[in-house]
Structure 1
Amino acid sequence: YLLSTRDDSWENGRKDCGDQGADLVIIDSLEEQKFLSNFTTSRSWIGLSDKDIEGTWKWIDGTPLTAAYWYRDANIVEPNNEGGGSTVEEDCAEIEPKPNPQYSWNDLSCNTALQWICEKLA
Structure 2
Amino acid sequence: MEPYVDELLGWLADPNWPPYLGCQKQLARFPEVTIDPIKEVILKNRSDPEWLLYILDFVEGHVPVGTLWKRIEPELIQLANGEVEDEEGVVELPKSAQRMLRLLKEAGETDAS
- Greater per-residue strand proportion: 1
Q: Which has the higher contact order (CA 8 A, sep 6+)?
A: 1
- Greater per-residue helix proportion: 2
Same fold (TM over 0.5): no
TM-score if structure 1 supplies the norm length? 0.32
